[in-house]
Amino acid sequence: MSHISGNDNRDSFGSKFGVIAATAGSAVGLGNIWRFPYIAGENGGGAFLIIYLLFIILIGLPVMLSELTIGRSTQRNPFGAFRALKPGQKWFWVGVMGIAAAFMINAFYSVVAGWTLEYLVKAVTDQFSGKAPGEIVGQFNSFQATGWRPLMWTISFIVISGSVVMTGVEKGIEKFTKVLMPILVVLIVILDIRAITLPGASEGLKFLFEPDFSKITGASILEALGQAFFSLSIGMGTLITYGSYINKKENLGQATVAVAFTDTIIAILAGVAIFPAVFAFGISPASGPDLVFLTLPNIFSQMAGGYIFGLLFFFLLTVAALTSTISILEVVVAYFSEELNMSRKKATILASVGIAVLGILSSLSLHKAPGISIAGVNLFGVLEFVSSNVLLPLGGLLIVVFVAWLFGKKHLKEELTSFGLYKASYYRIYLFIIRYIAPFAIALVLMNSIGIIRF
C-alpha cells in the first residue's frame, strides 16, 4: 500500500488530510491541555505566553519543516535517515538521542494519560456534580494515595497505545485521528465559553494575557523553549518518522504551518478554559502537574450538561494523548524494526515493557514514593526536564544545522517544492532562519540555563 516509490514495503499516509491530521494528532495532546497551562502557570502566565509564541515561530516552525524534510527525503526512521544522508559519520547520534527521548517522554506521559483514564471513569460515574472545590482536590489526592490505581491506569494506557502501533500506520494511526481531533476542538471551545462566564474569570484571563516580564527568569525562558519543542513534537525525530510516511506530492511547508497553528491555538484555548477556573475556584496557578485535574472537574460540576461534557472531554483527552504516544512509540518501533530487523509486534512489545518499567517508577516518584529521585528532583520531573528542556532542543539544534549546511540546497529545494509542484516562496527566509537564527537562539537559551552565559 505504499504510495512512495523506492521503499516498497513501508506503510504510508493515504491522503493530505490524513497527513495533517496524524501530524497534528501527534502535536496536540497532553502537552497542550495538561502541560501548557501548568508550565505557563508556574512561569508567570502572559509573559511566558509571548516568549512561547516567539519560539514557536522562530524555532518551532523551522525545526518542524526540517524534520519533515529529512523524513520524507529518506523514507527512514531517524537513525536510518541520518545514516543514509551522511554514511560513516556521527550524525546518527541525533537519532539515538531521539530514541532515548522517546522512552523518557513516553514514560512520564503515560502516567498523566493514566490519570486521564481514571478521570474518564470518574466522569462516567458522575463523581464531579455537586462537589465543592475542596472535594475535587480531595478526590485527586485520594486517587494518588491508593498507590496502585495510578499504576494500573498507566499500564492500561501503555497497552492500548502499543496495540494501536502494532496495527500499523494507515489503518491504526490515521483513521483514529481524522475523526476525533475536530470534535476535541469544538468541545474545548464550549468549555471556554463556560469558563469565561464564571464569576472572577477576568482575573484568569488577565493572568494568561497580561504580560508581566518581571516574572521571567532564565529558567522560565528555557521552560518556554522546552514546551515549544514538546508541544510541537519536534527535536526527537517523531516528525522525521512521520515525514517518512508522507507522499512525495504533499506540500511540506503548508502542512507545517497548519499543524503548528492548530497546536498553538489549542494550547491557548486550553489556557482560556483553565485559568479563569483556577482563579474562580481558588486554586494556585503554580499547582504543577496536578493543575488540570484540580480545575476542570470544577467547571463540569458547575455547568449545565456538565455530566456529558465531562465525559466527552476526558474521552477525547485520552484519545489526544493516545495519538501523541503512538507517534512517540512509533519512533522506537520504526528503529527496532528497520535497523534491528525485528517484527513490528516484537518491537512494540519490547518498547512497551521498557516504557512501563520507567513509567511505574516515575508515577511512584510523584506522590507515593518521592524517594525515587535524582539530585532532589523526583524521577517524573527529571524525565520531563531532561527530555523536554535538554534532549529536544539539542536534537532540534542539530537537525536545523544539518539541514541548513549539510543537506544540500538543491535537495532541500526539491523537497520543499515537491520537485517543482509548489513555489515554496518562503524558501529564502526559511534558509536564513535555519542558518543564522534558530541554532543561535536555541544555543543561547541552553547555555543560559546551564550558566555558561547570563541574560
Q: Which is nearer to ligand PHE, 27 or 49 (CB)?
A: 27
For the four alpha carbons of 289, 329, 158 and 17, in that order, the dihedral sign comes to positive
Do 177 and 25 contact (CB within 8 A), yes or no?
yes
Judged by CB under 6 A, the residue of 27, 164, 169, 246 near ligand PHE is: 27
Q: Does 324 bind ligand PHE (CB under 6 A)?
A: yes
Of the candidate spans 30-38, 62-70, 112-120, 275-283, the one that interacts with ligand PHE by CB under 6 A turns out to be: 30-38
Q: Does 61 bind ligand PHE (CB under 6 A)?
A: no
Q: Does 29 bind ligand PHE (CB under 6 A)?
A: yes
Q: Could you tell me the smallest distance in angstroms from the CB atom of residue 399 to ligand PHE?
A: 13
Q: Does 32 bind ligand PHE (CB under 6 A)?
A: yes
Residue written as cell 481558588? 282
Q: Which is nearer to ligand PHE, 128 or 230 (CB)?
A: 230
Do 138 and 354 contact (CB within 8 A), yes or no?
no
Q: Could you tell me the smallest distance in angstroms from the CB atom of residue 120 to ligand PHE?
A: 17
Residue 377: helix, strand or coil by DSSP? strand
Do 320 and 188 contact (CB within 8 A), yes or no?
no
Judged by CB under 6 A, the residue of 61, 105, 312, 347 near ligand PHE is: 105
Residue with the shortest CB distance to ligand PHE: 31
Q: Does 173 bind ligand PHE (CB under 6 A)?
A: no
Nearest one of 189, 358, 202, 339 to 266, comparing CA atoms:
189
What is the residue-wise DSSP string for 211-277?
A: --GGG--HHHHHHHHHHHHHHHT-SSSHHHHHHTTS-TTS-HHHHHHHHHHHHHHHHHHHHHHHHHH
Q: How far is residue 150's CA from residue 155's CA, in Å, rounded to a whole number?
A: 9
Q: Could you tell me the smallest distance in angstroms from the CB atom of residue 322 to ligand PHE?
A: 10
Q: Which is nearer to ligand PHE, 63 or 438 (CB)?
A: 63
Q: Does 272 bind ligand PHE (CB under 6 A)?
A: no
Nearest one of 261, 230, 250, 272 to 384, comparing CA atoms:
230
Q: Could you tell me the smallest distance in angstroms from the CB atom of residue 197 to ligand PHE?
A: 28
Q: Does 271 bind ligand PHE (CB under 6 A)?
A: no
Q: Does 66 bind ligand PHE (CB under 6 A)?
A: no
Q: Which is nearer to ligand PHE, 229 or 279 (CB)?
A: 229
Between strands 373-374 and 377-378, the pairing is antiparallel
Judged by CB under 6 A, the residue of 14, 18, 25, 31 near ligand PHE is: 31
Q: Which residues pair with 374 in a beta bridge?
A: 377
Q: Does 327 bind ligand PHE (CB under 6 A)?
A: yes
Q: Does 390 bind ligand PHE (CB under 6 A)?
A: no
Of the candidate spans 22-30, 43-51, 53-61, 403-411, the one that interacts with ligand PHE by CB under 6 A turns out to be: 22-30
Residue 129: helix, strand or coil by DSSP? coil
Judged by CB under 6 A, the residue of 20, 24, 25, 26 near ligand PHE is: 26
For the four alpha carbons of 289, 292, 298 and 300, in that order, the dihedral sign comes to negative
b/e 407-438 (16+ beta carbons within 10 angstroms → b):
beeeebebbbbbeeeeebebeeebbebbbeeb
Q: Does 30 bind ligand PHE (CB under 6 A)?
A: yes
Q: Could you tell me the smallest distance in angstroms from the CB atom of residue 153 to ligand PHE?
A: 17
- Kindly state the cell numbers that stand for 263: 497546536
Of the candidate spans 118-126, 232-240, 292-300, 333-341, the one that interacts with ligand PHE by CB under 6 A turns out to be: 232-240
Do 193 and 35 contact (CB within 8 A), yes or no?
no
Residue 373: helix, strand or coil by DSSP? strand
Where are the strands (E) in 118-183, listed by range? Answer: none
Q: Does 45 bind ligand PHE (CB under 6 A)?
A: no
How many residues bind to ligand PHE according to rule CB under 6 A? 15
Do 367 and 375 contact (CB within 8 A), yes or no?
no
Judged by CB under 6 A, the residue of 328, 329, 390, 424 near ligand PHE is: 328
**Site residues, ligand PHE (CB under 6 A):** 26-27, 29-32, 105, 230-231, 233, 236, 238, 324, 327-328
